[in-house]
């Protein structure tokens, strides 16, 4: 926050907030400004294959703000939710609804990388401070990076690159990858391949399936005929549950071990049952992490929602934490955008995933964990790669 010698409107307002009865003596617009709600726009999927992800992000973000007193910088909060339906074709319209229509102070979401690219394009043009709370589209913190765009989740590259050397280390030198045919799928199997080939592995085939199709049978037959040493995959939400069950039912899990981006086994293990057992993944979180913040967080999320926490809830929680931190720094003055962005850039969040800071392109710098599903839990085997920073290629801010 800038320091000025003369009494500023902002200081006047914060003094007024503590002044109780004296507030009634203030000119009406000043009092209104301080009590006016901070509008937080949320563009997330509440229907379709990614619905559970949207709900966990939303509930945990609100939980973080409620945990800090339910206000942002002392001001009440209004949450404005729009169902993205994980549909890139509707993304520009939906983002405009929140930015131009609702005039939100902050924009958060989405889950789907294609939706993110359309949303961020508009947020950059309008200057709305935006926190991407899931979608990993690499471009968001590369070519499309901007001072008003932050990400509390991951880049697609970050979560999958470390799996390449890990699979080679385990003796799996020939792999097939399989995923949905859209930006997140392409970038995740691409990042895996980059690390895998560098370590001496060979990708025999990349199988792409239209999003959100879950008809896997013909592709599993093809995998069986290709006889790779292992399979690498990205699916999430309802599609991930179906993929794990079909892979197991086809009898492949015993002969061709299944690896993936950790989204495959996060928030899906209850529904997958025994089909999830033994799957090895990389991700920036595991529910079983033993740090005290994670213990408090998982218990609080379970108590609030009745559901187990997962990586999506963590990202929502950290989005809430970031809003609390930045709005505290400006004492609730949403107009102080430069100062809000500076506070966000400098934030060091005590996240359930471990300490989280931002790179110059405003993407998290974070450890990527190696996990294996054992007795229905993602058990941490170790850190696959420490303090992973997205290369941020093409971002002018780095």
Binding-site ranges for ligand BEZ (CB under 6 A):
111-113, 134-137, 184, 236, 263
- CB of residue 207 to ligand BEZ, shortest distance in Å: 18
Tell me how far, at minimum, the Cβ of 135 lies from ligand BEZ, in Å: 4
Cβ 269 to ligand BEZ shortest distance, Å? 15
Nearest CB to ligand BEZ, comparing residues 234 and 358: 234
User: Cβ 259 to ligand BEZ, closest distance in Å?
Assistant: 16
Give the nearest distance from C-beta 185 to ligand BEZ in angstroms.
8
172's tokens: 């799996």
Closer CB to ligand BEZ, residue 137 or residue 356?
137
135 or 329: whose CB is closer to ligand BEZ? 135
On whether the CB atoms of residues 84 and 54 are closer than 8 A, the answer is: yes
**Closer of 150 and 332 to ligand BEZ (Cβ):** 150
Q: Which residue's entry shows tokens 């110059």?
A: 360
**CB-closest chain residue to ligand BEZ:** 184
Question: At its nearest, how many Å lie between ligand BEZ and the CB of residue 236?
Answer: 4
- Give whichever of 333 and 367 is closer to ligand BEZ, judged by the CB atom: 367
DSSP assignment of 348-378, as one string? -EEETTEEEEE-TTS-EEEEEEEEEEETTEE
Q: How far is the CB of 191 from ligand BEZ (least distance, A)?
A: 12
The secondary element (H helix, E strand) that includes residue 361 is: none
If the CB atoms of residues 136 and 392 are measured against ligand BEZ, the closer one turns out to be 136
Q: Does the bond joining 212 to the residue before it have cis omega, within 30 degrees of 0?
A: yes
**Is 232 within 8 Å of 260 (Cβ atoms)?**
yes
DSSP string of 32-64? HHHHSPEEEEEEE--SSTTHHHHHHHHHHHHHH
Minimum distance from residue 137 beta carbon to ligand BEZ (Å): 6
Q: Which is nearer to ligand BEZ, 311 or 326 (CB)?
A: 311
Q: Which is nearer to ligand BEZ, 98 or 261 (CB)?
A: 261
Choice between 134 and 298, CB closer to ligand BEZ? 134
Cα dihedral value 155, 157, 159, 165, nearest 10: -160
DSSP codes joined into one string, 232-266: EEE--HHHHHHHHHHHHHTTHHHHS-EEEEGGGGS
In whole angstroms, give the CA distance from residue 154 to residue 183: 14
Q: How far is CA 253 from the centre of its chain?
A: 28
Q: Measured between alpha carbons, how far is 398 from 177 in angstroms, rounded to an integer?
A: 32
Nearer to ligand BEZ by Cβ, of 72 and 241: the residue is 241
In DSSP terms, 206 is beta-bridged to 177
* Number of residues that this document lists for the chain: 398
| Rounded distance between C-alpha atoms, residue 264 and residue 53, angstroms | 12
- Name the minimum Å distance from CB 182 to ligand BEZ: 7
Question: 223 with 252: CB under 8 angstroms?
Answer: yes
Contact predicate 174/148, CB 8 Å: no
Angle of CA points 158, 163, 167, to nearest 5°:
170
Q: How far is the CB of 3 from ligand BEZ (least distance, A)?
A: 40
């Amino acid at each position: 926050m800038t320091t000025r010698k003369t009494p500023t409107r902002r200081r006047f307002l914060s003094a007024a907030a503590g002044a109780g009865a004296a507030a009634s003596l203030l000119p009406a617009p000043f009092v209104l400004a301080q009590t006016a709600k901070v509008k937080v726009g949320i563009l997330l999927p509440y229907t379709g294959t990614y619905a559970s992800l949207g709900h966990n992000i939303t509930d945990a973000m609100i939980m973080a703000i409620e945990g800090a007193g339910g206000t942002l910088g002392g001001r009440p909060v209004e949450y404005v939710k729009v169902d993205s339906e994980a549909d890139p074709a509707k993304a520009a319209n939906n983002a405009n609804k929140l930015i131009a229509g609702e005039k939100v102070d902050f924009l958060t979401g989405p889950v789907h990388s294609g939706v993110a690219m359309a949303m961020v394009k508009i947020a950059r043009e309008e200057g709305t401070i935006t926190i991407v709370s899931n979608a990993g589209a690499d471009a968001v913190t590369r070519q499309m990076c901007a001072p008003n765009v932050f990400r509390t989740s991951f880049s697609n590259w970050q979560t999958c690159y470390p799996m390449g050397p890990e699979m080679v280390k385990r003796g799996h030198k020939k792999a097939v990858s399989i995923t949905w045919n859209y930006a997140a799928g392409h970038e995740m199997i691409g990042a895996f391949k980059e690390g895998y080939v560098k370590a001496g592995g060979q990708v025999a085939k990349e199988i792409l399936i239209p999003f959100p199709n879950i008809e896997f049978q013909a592709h599993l037959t093809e995998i069986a005929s290709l006889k790779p040493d292992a399979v690498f995959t990205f699916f999430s939400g309802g599609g991930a549950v179906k993929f794990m069950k079909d892979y197991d039912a086809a009898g492949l899990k015993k002969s061709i071990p299944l690896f993936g981006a950790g989204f495959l086994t996060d928030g899906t293990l209850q529904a997958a049952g025994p089909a999830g057992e033994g799957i090895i993944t990389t991700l920036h979180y595991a529910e079983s992490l033993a740090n005290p913040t994670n213990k408090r967080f998982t218990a609080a999320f379970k108590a609030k929602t009745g559901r187990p926490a997962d990586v999506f809830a963590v990202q929502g929680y950290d989005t809430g934490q970031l809003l609390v931190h930045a709005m505290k720094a400006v004492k609730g003055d949403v107009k102080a955008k430069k100062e809000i962005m500076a506070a966000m850039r400098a934030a060091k969040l005590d996240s359930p995933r471990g300490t989280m800071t931002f790179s110059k392109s405003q993407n998290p710098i974070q450890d990527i964990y190696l996990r294996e599903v054992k007795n229905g839990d993602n058990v941490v085997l170790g850190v696959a790669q420490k303090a992973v920073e997205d290369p941020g290629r093409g971002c002018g801010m780095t």
